[in-house]
A and B are shown apart, each in its own frame.
Chain A
Amino acid sequence: MSVAPRVGLFVTCLVDLFRPSVGFAAVKLLEDAGCTVEVPAAQTCCGQPAYNAGDRKDARGIAIGVLKAFEGYDYVVVPSGSCAGMIKVHFERLFSDDPVHAAAARDLAARTWELTSFLADVLKVAALPARHDGTVAYHDSCSSLREMGVRNQPRALLSQVTGLTLVEVPNGEACCGFGGTFAVKYGDISGEIVRKKADSVASTGATTLVAGDLGCLFNIAGKLKRDGSAIVVRHVAEILAGMTDDPPIGEAS
């Protein structure tokens, strides 16, 4: 690309509050690939908690804030399939009876990408300089997989990392049981679902688990750590950017 694409990074509330290192890893990956990255200060959350609770009015209010904050960027990149899916697929549905905002939502949707698919499909990143020695399992988050069509992109990027062996999680298309507030509201069901997922992950023999969604990662890491597992859990961006100095998810330095 001749002119550096101007990317607005939607950090997501979980990354902002719980794991800033993912945000910095995303910035590094995007800048290394030639983008100009900005982080609009007016962003907060994509509105999923309200939307999924059936609180459409509040979800709209939050969505309008996102529409404004990300006006004018060439691309909006999100280190989460779930929040990207909210913006790309669901915002427009929120404004089914509000043509002005619906048009803005459509416009934003067309510019919005999940991080790994943006790197692979748009920026065509083909030679990452990162190194990671070990066996890595990639977990497909439901939104990435089924809403955003993200499957091969993170795997292709991980295969560029020197020293890394990628393994597949059996029954990988199954949900980890996170589901946002579902994990707290129906914690017993969610806990049973993540138990199965953690067992599947453990069965791969992987030393590291990565995914593109912090929600799933917190859920699976929480279960693995409760079980005393030594498997290290990280966001895929941290591995791709070679930024693994911070302790893994759910662990102390």
Chain B
Amino acid sequence: MQPTSALFRDNVTKALLDTDLQTALSRVDKNFTARRTAAVTAMPEFEALRDDAVRIKDHVLAHLDLYLEKFEEIVRTNGGHVHWAKTPEDARRIVLDLCQAAGARTVTKGKSMIAEEIALNPYLEEHGITPVETDLGEYIIQLADEPPSHIIGPAIHKTKEQVSDLFAEHHRQYGKTQRLIEGVDLVAEAREILRPRYLAADVGITGANFLIAETGSSVIVTNEGNGDLTQQLPSTHIVIASLEKIVPTLEDASTLLRVLARSATGQQMSVYTTFSTGPKRTEDPDGPNAYHVVLLDNGRSALLGSEFQEILRCIRCGACFNHCPVYASIGGHAYGWVYSGPMGAVLTPAMIGIDQAHHLPSATPFCGRCEAVCPMRIPLPKMMRHWREQAFERKLDGVRQRWAIRAWAWLAKRPALYRRMTGLVVRYLAWRGRPLGRMDDLPFARGWTATRDFPAPQGRTFSARWAQSRKAGTP
């Protein structure tokens, strides 16, 4: 995916004018926020569980190499293979080689953000392999030829009507001529069309929510069961995952699964939690003949020991997206790269560079709700601030804004001068706003006055009045 984060402002304008997007986004509250609140309220020990989850991940990050080596060893013992990919190019190449070795023409895919990160689908297509997305949301956006806009609800930006149109257009070739309206009918039709494709696939590619070092397993959670079919039916199963997905034990995975589902969808558990541990053994009735795990770094190891290390605790639950007022206003695509929302505002600059992505950590009111709901207690605002400091040092902000901040700071360090200057400005503004008590246009703050009025000051400053009243002896 070609990043468009540098065009953030244009992306935002487009998103705010997109009425379909706005309709779609208004469902986030009902579908995610309310359900999470209910699930968390129903579990008194949730806070303690969060602490456990944080401890597990912090421990893993402190000993990442150790657990990765252990994982590789066990996977090998189980008859599988582990491949190390430093860059997205490496990962794409490895996956393609494995697909070609399997003689693959079609691959089915379970939902994987890592596949998006390495832009796998277009690469496979270029090399004559057809990828078929099997997660309903991913399937929808594959038809629309769009990237996901949310890490757990990839098609959250689409209205039902838009999905209906997409199906009508793309399913005609399968003899489906009736335009469907109801959600259940749309799901049923997608299922009917996907079924034979599972059977035809030569390779199944899934992501992983967790990798377990002690058992060499990869774990995925889904609500549709599509992941199971993707990894069991084809003769080759490829897992693509990033390094930090590793956890030491099964027990640890189960702790994380409990916070994950509640934070993500408000469920106690996702409908399907599937563990894959190597290829089919002789006594197994089914399963793939080959099992490969591709482990992607893509800059993650460089975050270890940096002020951004804590973002590697992220378990991709999406709670920060669902509680972010910025995300709720502009959706995921406006962020201009694979990861959006508060988590993307921290991770994207690390992956595509702060020069390109400086708007993302900057365009937030720092409301702190992301950190408050993050099951992994990741200090997202604090890390956004680190990025802002880097952006400021590199002068990536607009000249005017920079000048205004520095001038204000210069003045704020000189109280006497500050008093005189601000006193004058305030009197002027009070005079301008006098008739109504507010102004509907302020030339230096049009970003504000385009959508709301600016209340006028009362007149003289507090400090002036205070000095006078105390001098006069009245309290």
Contacts and interface: CB of A to CB of B under 8 A. Distances in A.
How many of chain A's residues touch chain B, expressed as a range? Answer: 35 or more
Interface in A4-45: 11, 13, 15-21, 23-24, 27, 31, 39, 41-45
Contacts of B365: 142, 175, 177-180, 182-183, 190, 193
Interface string B394-435: 000100011001101111110100100010011000000011
- The 3 closest A-B CB pairs, nearest first, are A179-B365, A187-B447, A191-B451
Looking at A11, A18, A31, the one whose CB has the most chain B CB atoms below 10 A away is: A18
Contact of B422 (A17, A62, A65, A193): A17
B447 A20 contact: no
Nearest to A175: B367
B445 interface: yes
A51 B326 CA distance: 20
Interface of B: 12-13, 16, 29, 325-326, 328-330, 362-369, 371-372, 382, 385, 387-393, 397, 401-402, 405-406, 408-413, 415, 418, 422, 425-426, 434-438, 440, 445-448, 450-458, 460-463, 465-467, 475
Contacts, number: 226
Nearest to B388: A54
A251 B409 contact: no
B369 A53 contact: no
Contacts of A226: 440, 451-453
Interface of A: 11, 13, 15-21, 23-24, 27, 31, 39, 41-45, 47, 49-56, 58-59, 61-62, 65, 93, 142-143, 146-147, 171, 173-175, 177-196, 218-219, 221-223, 225-226, 246-247, 249-253
B326 A53 contact: no
Looking at A52, A53, A61, A223, the one whose CB has the most chain B CB atoms below 10 A away is: A53
B10 to A, nearest CB: 11
Contact of A54 (B391, B412, B456): B391
B16 A52 contact: no
Given A17-B426, A20-B465, A252-B434, A187 B454 contact: no
A253 B411 CA distance: 32
Given A15-B462, A189-B363, A65 B412 contact: yes
25 contacts: A20-B466, A24-B462, A41-B415, A41-B467, A44-B413, A50-B409, A52-B388, A54-B397, A58-B405, A146-B369, A175-B365, A175-B367, A183-B365, A184-B447, A185-B401, A190-B447, A190-B451, A193-B329, A221-B455, A222-B455, A223-B452, A225-B455, A226-B451, A247-B437, A250-B456
B409 A49 contact: yes
